[in-house]
């Protein structure tokens, strides 16, 4: 009887540990495309698990994709789903072809999402959007999202750090080590943090999109500060 009771308690403990370690959110890759138009393809991670958290994360990702596919002013977005946005993109192209039948430039839109980092406290996701609507070159934009893994809400960059001034100084020093900044920046004397700051497996990654601080020819500027150098400044600890 005593042995059976011990086994029962052990099983309960193991079950509790397993439940505790099971993540609230998992992800699966979802593809959106128009079979009649290979011009548009969207491959993004969609959250599953706790409905409240998953819905919050998915809503933010979907809104970003819809905005990226918008032709014209983002403030005038009227689509409510990714499929509607793809259809809208195609209709804009058809209208363009009608107005400029001699144009030889095909339109193209490709959006891909990747999980940069996931822990029990924070989830970082990157969306890479490439758009070409007939110009001299396409437009590549990368957007980082940091989600609170317990709520699904977006964490602002300022809320990632317990000492914003110290992180600014660390990022500036690291940037100057990694990048020949005096030759590429619009304003070499002024350092600014990028819009994109996110967690990755190796550390905190900072990414400047094209035109954000340097000419188009410079391209994307990206560097990572290792966790052993930045963890003391983080609200959510990263894996070292």
Domain CATH number, residue 136: 3.30.565.40
pLDDT of residue 188: 58
Residues 76 and 110 in one domain: yes
pLDDT tier at 21, thresholds 50, 70, 90 = low
> Into how many domains does the chain fold?
2
Give the helix/strand (H/E) hosting 28.
Answer: strand 25-34
pLDDT tier at 123, thresholds 50, 70, 90 = very high
This prediction has a pTM of: 0.83
pLDDT tens column, 69-95: 887 655 566 677 888 888 888 887 778
Among 155, 183, 209, give the residue marking a domain's end. Answer: 155
Tokens of 159: 């809320």
pLDDT tops 90 at residue 61: yes
pLDDT of residue 159: 96
pLDDT tens column, 138-150: 788 999 999 999 9
For the segment 54-72, the average pLDDT, to the nearest whole number, is 91
Among candidate residues 158, 141, 148, 150, the one with its CA nearest the CA of residue 124:
148
pLDDT tops 80 at residue 183: no
Among candidate residues 85, 81, 98, the one with its CA nearest the CA of residue 39:
85
pLDDT tops 70 at residue 231: yes
Percent of the chain scoring above 70 in pLDDT: 75
Contact indicator for 49, 26 with CB cutoff of 8 Å:
yes
Domain that holds residue 178: 156-240
């Amino acid at each position: 009887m005593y042995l059976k009771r011990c086994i029962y308690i052990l099983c309960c403990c193991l079950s509790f540990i397993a439940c505790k370690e099971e993540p609230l959110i998992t992800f699966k890759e979802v593809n959106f495309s128009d079979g009649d138009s290979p011009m548009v393809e969207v491959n993004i991670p969609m959250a599953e698990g706790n409905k409240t958290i998953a819905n919050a994360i998915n809503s933010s990702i979907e809104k970003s994709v819809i905005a990226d596919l918008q032709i014209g002013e983002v403030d005038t977005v009227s689509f409510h789903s990714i499929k509607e946005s793809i259809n809208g993109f195609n209709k804009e192209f058809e209208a363009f072809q009608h107005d400029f039948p001699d144009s030889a430039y095909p339109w193209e839109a490709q959006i891909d999402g990747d999980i940069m980092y996931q822990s029990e406290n924070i989830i970082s996701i990157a969306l890479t959007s490439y758009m070409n609507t007939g110009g001299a070159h396409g437009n590549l934009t990368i957007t980082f999202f940091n989600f609170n893994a317990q709520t699904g809400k977006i964490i602002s960059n300022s809320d990632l750090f317990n000492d914003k001034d110290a992180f600014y100084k660390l990022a500036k020093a690291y940037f100057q080590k990694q990048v020949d900044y005096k030759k590429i920046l619009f304003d070499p004397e002024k350092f600014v943090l990028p819009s994109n700051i996110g967690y990755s497996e190796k550390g905190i990654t900072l990414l400047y999109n094209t035109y954000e601080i340097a000419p188009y020819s410079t391209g994307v500027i990206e560097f990572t500060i290792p966790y052993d150098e930045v963890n003391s400044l983080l609200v959510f600890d990263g894996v070292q």
